[in-house]
Amino acid sequence: MAAGRSEVVVESVRVHMLSSQHVVILKEIGRDRYLPIWIGPWEANAIAMRLQGVEPERPLTHDLLASLMRDLGARVREVDIVGLEAETFFARIVLEAGGRIHEVDARPSDALALAVRTGAPVFAADDVLERAGVRPEPDEDGEREGDDERLSVFRDFVNSLDADEPGEGRSPSR
């Protein structure tokens, strides 16, 4: 893929307490910057279950997709958060099958649910991180807060949003 991107990891899935809307939090590797992406409840559940090591009794859609690809000899090379337009995020799943590379347009929520199942790395375009990334504020001493306190920035951020905020795949308004 092209330059101008950074690797991120799925840090957590959160729920806005007033609206019950879900947001997945991506953390940039090597930097203290986070990318919140609003997602649907089914995808949020699929991502959260996998992050917590919970196995469903029957395969979820993303489990089925991962199994099909594996059985057909395809693998997810990476997932890319490639764009942000009109508060909607765009993603691409990069697959390798039969010695060929295939790029598939996807909702970020589906791409991330697949990435956590396959162990594929996740990248975000630098311009997306610049436009929608969030950095925790330094404390009074000018130092960054600890992990629990650092993630509280998202609890406060998510819980401060209006119930009319954007839905699936959209970024919060600034």
User: CATH number for the domain including 12?
Assistant: 3.10.690.10
> What's the pLDDT tens digit per position in 91-118?
999 999 999 999 999 999 999 999 999 9
**Whether residue 38 has pLDDT greater than 60:** yes
Q: CB neighbours of 8 closer than 8 A, spacing ≥ 6?
A: 26, 27, 28, 29, 35, 81, 122, 123, 124
3-state secondary structure of 81: strand
88 falls within a domain: yes
Task: Answer whether 154's CB lies under 8 Å from 161's CB.
Answer: no
Range of the domain at 67: 5-160
Kindly calculate the radius of gyration of the chain based on its CA atoms and give it in whole angstroms: 16
Residue with tokens 């991120």, as numbered in its chain: 8
27 falls within a domain: yes
Using pLDDT thresholds of 50, 70 and 90, give the confidence band for residue 25.
very high
166 falls within a domain: no
Structural domains of the chain, count: 1
Q: What long-range pairs does 160-166 form, CB within 8 A, spacing at least 24?
A: 161/16, 161/18, 161/19, 162/19, 163/16, 163/18, 163/19, 163/21, 164/19, 165/16, 165/19, 165/21, 165/38, 166/38, 166/87
**Whether residue 174 has pLDDT greater than 60:** no
Query: Tell me, what's the pLDDT at 154?
Result: 56
If you average pLDDT over residues 48-70, what whole number do you get?
93
The pTM score is 0.79
170 falls within a domain: no
156 falls within a domain: yes
